[in-house]
Amino acid sequence: MIYSSILSNEKGAFALLIDPDKYNISDIKGLAERAQNANVDIILLGGSLTQVSIEKTLKIIRQRSSIPIILFPGNALQFTPSADAILFLSLISGRNPDFLIGNHVLVSQALHESGMEIIPTGYILIESGAVTSVQYMSNTMPIPRNKPDIVVATALAGQQLGLKSIYLEAGSGAQLPVPNGIISEVRKHIKSPIIVGGGIRTPQAVRDARQAGANMVVVGNALERDAGLLNELVAACT
């Protein structure tokens, strides 16, 4: 299973986030091939909007890569049964019921029938120096980056609720990544795998997140600007 073999891997995992709305078909083909050659561990597929078909994008990636594809849905419309797994995200840092449970109810029957691996994930949005897409679209406030105690308490609550992983998110368009001090504090308090994304643009930022305690590091925007960074970023995630 993906959860046990990747997220719990002590080596650490590198995830490439592909937002179908950010690429044309040719770019997705090239990025999937780059990911395969760079030994990317996971491809996350999803975004804040739904202007381009998730299913169509997934099929293009499958033709050029054998990397497991996990859905990273911004809403219930981004579900497709063709993926290998889904990060079933509950935005536990916010108080918007649509992103805590509402979208989950809408897709629950289709997800049940698909038989795909479900990874219940506590999604925690952290202030990043800019209003990010997820903040705007979910109508939730991020936790201030100088409040690690609130982040830790939120992560603990997610673990106590039975969520199988914790995603610390700075958000798409973040000026600053999740502080390493927050990652390390959360690591001290929870046993669940920690996923970290948003605002990570350099190999050093990948290394810092891993050393602070991230089990999986996610990069998306930086590769939209320069896909040539992929090999260096993956190599840093060890």
pLDDT in tens, 79-116: 999 999 999 999 999 999 999 999 999 999 999 999 99
Report residue 89: phi and psi, to 5°.
Answer: -80, 130
pLDDT in tens, 174-200: 999 999 999 999 999 999 999 999 999
- Output the pLDDT for position 10: 72
State the average pLDDT over residues 117-145. 96
d(CA 206, CA 209): 5
pTM of the model: 0.97
pLDDT band per the 50, 70, 90 thresholds, residue 52: confident
pLDDT in tens, 134-179: 999 999 999 999 999 999 999 999 999 999 999 999 998 899 999 9
Structure tokens at 201: 């643009």
pLDDT in tens, 13-36: 999 999 999 999 999 999 999 999
102: containing domain: 2-236
The CATH number given to whatever domain includes residue 113 is 3.20.20.390
Is 42 within 8 Å of 70 (Cβ atoms)?
yes
Handedness of CA 212, 217, 223, 228 (dihedral sign): positive
Q: Which long-range contacts (CB under 8 A, 24 or more apart) does 178-182 make?
A: 178/126, 178/128, 178/145, 178/209, 179/126, 179/145, 179/148, 180/208, 180/209, 180/211, 180/212, 181/148, 181/212, 182/126, 182/145, 182/148, 182/151
Beta bridge partners of 124: 168
Domain count for the chain, please give it: 1
